[in-house]
Structures are given as C-alpha cells and as structure tokens.
Amino acid sequence: MKYHTVIEKLPQELVREDQLELLLRERAIRLAADLLRQGELVAFPTETVYGLGADATRSEAVAQIFLAKGRPQDNPLIVHIAREEQLKQIIAGPLPPLAEELIKTFWPGPLTIIVNKNEAIPPVITAGLDSVAVRMPAHPVARALITAAGIPLAAPSANLSGTPSPTLATHVWTDLQGRIPLIIDGGPARIGIESTVIDLRAQTPLILRPGGLSRERLEAVLGIELEVAAEITAEEEKPLSPGMKYRHYSPATPLLLNNFDRAEQLAEISEQYRDKRIALVVTAETARGLEHLANNFKVVVMGSRSSPAGIAANLFAILRELDHLKLDKIIVEMIPETGIGMAVMNRLHRASKVE
C-alpha cells in the first residue's frame, strides 16, 4: 500500500519527562495513537534511535513492519512498554530475580531483556520462539505514545532493513516515505545506537547485543562478569535478538575499518586510494595528523576517543550524510571496546565490507 507520509513535529519544549501530561494532549500523539489502534504503523523517537511501531498484540499489524522495512521474517522484534505493569500482558511466569534488579536500576532506559513470552504475543514478533525481547524506553515521546495508544508496541528501528539506523525524523523520511502514514519528529535521538539486549533466562545472563547501556554498568549491578554472544552464521539458526544474524547498519558506500595505529598506514592509504574519493571518519585526536591529505580525501571527525558516547550519538548520522556524496569508500577509525565503545564497534563491524 502506498501512503502519503506525514511528519508531525513536536515542540522541543514539550519533549521532556516533566511534560508528559502536555505531550498526551498533543495532536501528533493522539493521531499516532489512533493509527496504531487501527493496525497502522507509526515512526517515533526513542532515546536510542527512531522506532517503527505497531500494535504488539495484533499479528496483521506487526506483519506490516516486515513489509515496510524489507526485514527478514526470522529477525525478532522488541516490544516496548510505558509502565512495568504492562509486563503482565507479555511475559509468562514470574520475572527472574536478576530481571527485577535490572528493571529497578535501568528502566526506563536503553536496556532490553529477553524473557519467556505468553500467548498474547503473536509468533510473528518472536520468529516463532518462546522468548520475547522487552524494553521500556526513556524518551518522553515514546512513553507518551505507548500510554496514549494503551497497547505495547513492537518496534524495530524505523529504517530500511540493513541501512544505518535513523537518529532523526528526516532519516526515517528518506527510508520509509510512502511506506508508512506518520512520522513523529521529536528531535535527534540522544544515544544514537540501539539498546543493549540481555538474555536473563539462563543461570548466567548473556549479552546478545551490545548497546546504549555498557557491559561494565550491567556487571556493576549484577556483580558478575558477562559474556557477549557470538553472531549467528548458520542460515537455519534463529536469532534471539535483533542485530545477531544479518548485516546491519550499512551505508550504500563500502565501509572499511582501520585502527590508524601506525604512521605508515596513512601513507599506505594515500597511495592505495589516490585516484578514489574517500571519506576518513576519525577521532578528533587522529584528525590532527590529517591536515595535509590530498583533496580526494574528506576527513570527518566523529568525536573524541575519550568520549565514546559522543561518537555513538554521531555515528549513524555521519554514515547517512556521507552516503549522499557518492564516495568510493568510507574508512572508519576503530576505537577501544570499553564502555559504549563496545556497541560502536559492534555496529561498525556489522556495517563493514571485507576486501
């Protein structure tokens, strides 16, 4: 179905936690809630990236997400809630004790937990698995929308499958214009990469996808060391979480990674790509040594190595902007995998091409 897609922009002074009651009265929120209850899709901001929401209790509504995004059917979705009481609509049995501790500490926020699902959650959301991924977003617009709709929302990132995740409403428009009826513009996503996903059903929790909440912070609360699951390579194996199996987050321009840890590397790159149009996406520290590159190299600073959170907030927007320049290659500097840097490198590895 072809839609006339509308962007409804919210006043930035209302996009605050203490303005939830006023947000609930906004025309954009009421219109979006009506559309969701009718089985339609709505794109909306969260603190991580923009999400594409559908009524999580209706199979036919959720199926539209896969069609709009071109998303593989075996890639499960995350269910978003606004209040902890909504978990009763989603999970089977009591919460694991560790889940209660994490919810108390990190919800609302960029943490998704994997728990056993009940029959109210249709198989299309979970790729037929008995488990379901759930999170409570911290963004006031997301929480207002879920509250106004009165239903949990299944919501992956609001982009075409495989492309860099959207951190602005304009990114959603670029990918999904004509595919969905409504985009709520609530300004830029603050964190810029998706939530951390942790499986709590086993005796030892397992991080399935690094994200906006660092492993170190989770370990500090749980008092244990956490492992990160390996990506899935077998075609027939089903992922428990988004971001585990398929190539994701990729610009159309081929993306390569480089650690820039040797002075000779820059000379090698200059020689190898002297006849190509290349973007070097680097930290502020590395950029200081790139002043004299030839004109065919475009240097883009993604942030300071000392602030991986700043790099995370900028990354997807930079990749999308560079895609407009018709470059031959994008070469991105690798950063240490500590804190949110682990999630940044997870996204870059999954976005990169091997030569």
User: CA 118, CA 40: separation in Å to the nearest integer?
Assistant: 23
Which range is least confidently modeled, 74-78, 192-196, 264-268? 264-268
- Give every CB contact of residue 272 below 8 A, 6+ residues apart in sequence: none
Confidence of residue 355 (pLDDT cuts 50, 70, 90): very low
Query: Is pLDDT above 80 for 65?
Result: yes
For residue range 148-157, what is the model confidence (pLDDT) as tens digits? 999 999 999 9
What number is the average pLDDT over the span 94-98?
A: 89
> Counting beta carbons within 10 angstroms of the beta carbon of residue 151, is it exposed (0 to 12), middle (13 to 18) or buried (19 or more)?
buried
What number is the average pLDDT over the span 75-88?
A: 95
The owner of tokens 């240490």 is: 336
Token pair of 9, please?
A: 């922009």
Q: In the chain, what percentage of residues exceed pLDDT 90?
A: 83
Architecture of domain 6-228: Alpha-Beta Complex (3.90)
255-351 CATH choice from 3.40.50.300, 3.20.20.70, 3.40.50.11030, 1.20.120.160:
3.40.50.11030
Q: Where are the domains of the chain?
A: 6-228, 255-351
* Vertex 173: Cα angle to 8 and 58 (nearest 5): 75
Query: Is pLDDT above 90 for 253?
Result: yes
- Which has the closest alpha carbon to 26: 12, 40, 41, 5? 12
3-class SS at 55? strand
3-class SS at 289? coil
In angstroms, how far is CA 207 from the centroid of its own chain?
A: 15
- pLDDT for the residue numbered 38: 98
The answer to whether 6-228 and 255-351 have equal CATH topology is no
Which range is least confidently modeled, 66-70, 85-89, 248-252? 248-252
For residue range 165-186, what is the model confidence (pLDDT) as tens digits? 999 999 999 999 999 999 999 9
For residue range 294-312, what is the model confidence (pLDDT) as tens digits? 899 999 999 999 999 999 9
Q: What is the mean pLDDT of the chain?
A: 93
- pLDDT for the residue numbered 353: 63
Query: Is pLDDT above 90 for 103?
Result: yes
What is the dihedral sign for C-alpha 261, 353, 169, 44?
Answer: negative
- pLDDT for the residue numbered 230: 84
186-222 burial string, b = 16+ CB within 10 Å, else e?
bbebbbbbbbbbbbbeeeebbbbbbbbbbbeebeeeb
- Which has the closest alpha carbon to 202: 290, 285, 98? 98
Per DSSP (E only), the strands in the chain are: 6-9, 42-45, 50-55, 78-80, 111-116, 131-135, 153-154, 182-185, 196-199, 206-209, 227-228, 255-258, 278-283, 297-303, 329-333
Token pair of 279, please?
A: 């973007």
Q: β-pairing, 227-228 with 206-209?
A: parallel
